[in-house]
């Protein structure tokens, strides 16, 4: 039985004990993937962000996170467990600098303008790529405007050094359907480029994606990547 690790939902980056920087991700797609994976016989673990939709299948192992740092820690703990990582979480690109955060109290309104210094969050998927085993499959997502989608997806595929990327246009974020393209990284020996042939419901997309991933995971397990270095740590 193959093991799949899914991340889903938003990250909340604290400003103080009350306020945060977040995004509109619902985690619905990741939860649909987790439910369908259980139905298909996968062993499933999901790292789920705040207020994200919870999978319905009882066989899903749910681990909660709040911030990008929490998710980074969770990935460090659970990455080695899986055969396939699907990184569907909407991780914040920026967070308040540590010196700007008051997690014990609340910023009071003064009537003056307020500026908060932000810093970049680490690229978690690129970090996983550096630690992954040669027989693991790593899948990312690119959510971009339609006219920039292909170019952006290919850049992310190369920059993050992952195996596959799901490219889907920005206008599908709040929709019940998704029009997606799954692109393989030829540098990772994956000659793959398939699309959904138009919008399909997100639950149907889960079946579509997992159907492709099942075959690709089995191939990777039996034929590990040869153009990679061994990870510096593998802890179950």
The pTM score is: 0.91
Q: What is the mean pLDDT of residues 75-90?
A: 97
Q: What is the pLDDT of residue 176?
A: 82
Say what percent of the chain tops pLDDT 70.
Answer: 93
Per-residue pLDDT reduced to its tens digit, 168-222: 988 777 778 889 999 999 999 899 999 999 999 988 999 999 999 999 999 999 9
Distance of CA 99 to the CA centre of its chain: 28
**CA separation (Å) from 117 to 17, 69, 96, 104, 121?**
17, 17, 6, 19, 13
Query: Can you tell me whether residue 169 is helix, strand or coil?
Result: strand
Q: Is the pLDDT of residue 233 over 90?
A: no
Q: What is the pLDDT of residue 116?
A: 87
Q: What is the mean pLDDT of residues 29-53?
A: 96
Does the annotation count 23 as an active-site position?
Answer: yes
pLDDT: which is higher, 234 or 143: 143
**CA separation (Å) from 23 to 49, 92, 206, 215, 222?**
11, 8, 22, 33, 39
**Angle, in degrees to the nearest 10, between helices 68-78 and 124-131:** 20
Q: Is the pLDDT of residue 4 over 90?
A: yes
pLDDT: which is higher, 94 or 172: 94
Eight-state DSSP code of residue 199: -
Q: What is the pLDDT of residue 81?
A: 98
**Angle, in degrees to the nearest 10, between helices 28-39 and 202-222:** 60
Residue 182 β-bridge partners: 166, 194
- Alpha carbon distance 141, 26 (integer Å): 15
| Domains in the chain, CATH or no CATH each | 3-103+117-222 (3.40.50.10300)
- Say if residues 184 and 191 touch (Cβ distance below 8 Å): yes
Q: Give residues with Cβ within 8 angstroms of 141, minimum separation 6.
A: 87, 88, 165, 166, 168
Q: What is the pLDDT of residue 146?
A: 86
Q: What is the pLDDT of residue 105?
A: 73
**CA separation (Å) from 124 to 1, 62, 223?**
26, 19, 25
Q: What is the pLDDT of residue 230?
A: 42
Q: Is the pLDDT of residue 155 over 80?
A: yes
Q: What is the pLDDT of residue 110?
A: 74
Q: Is the pLDDT of residue 232 over 50?
A: no
From the candidates 23, 32, 135, 195, which is the catalytic residue?
A: 23
Q: Is the pLDDT of residue 135 over 60?
A: yes
- Say if residues 136 and 85 touch (Cβ distance below 8 Å): yes
Q: What is the mean pLDDT of residues 21-44?
A: 94
């Amino acid at each position: 039985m193959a093991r799949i690790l899914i991340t889903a939902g938003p990250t909340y980056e604290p400003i103080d004990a009350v306020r945060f920087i977040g995004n509109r991700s619902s985690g619905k797609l990741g939860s649909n993937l987790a439910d369908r994976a259980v139905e298909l016989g996968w062993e499933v673990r999901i790292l789920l962000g705040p207020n994200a939709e919870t999978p319905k299948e009882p066989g899903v192992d749910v681990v909660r996170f709040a911030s990008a740092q929490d998710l980074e820690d969770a990935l460090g703990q659970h990455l080695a467990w899986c055969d396939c990582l699907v990184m569907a979480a909407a991780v914040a690109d920026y967070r308040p600098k540590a010196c700007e955060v008051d997690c014990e109290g609340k910023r009071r309104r003064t009537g003056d303008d307020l500026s908060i210094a932000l810093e970049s969050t680490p690229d978690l998927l690129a970090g996983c790529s550096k630690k992954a085993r040669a027989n693991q499959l790593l899948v990312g997502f690119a959510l971009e405007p339609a006219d920039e989608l292909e170019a952006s997806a290919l850049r992310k595929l190369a920059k993050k050094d992952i195996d596959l990327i799901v490219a889907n246009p920005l206008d599908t974020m709040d929709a019940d359907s998704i029009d997606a393209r799954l692109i393989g990284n030829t540098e990772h020996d994956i000659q793959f480029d398939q699309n959904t042939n138009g919008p399909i419901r997100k639950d149907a997309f889960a079946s579509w994606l997992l159907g492709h991933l099942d075959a690709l995971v089995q191939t990777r397990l039996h034929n590990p990547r040869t153009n990679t270095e061994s990870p510096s740590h593998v802890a179950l």
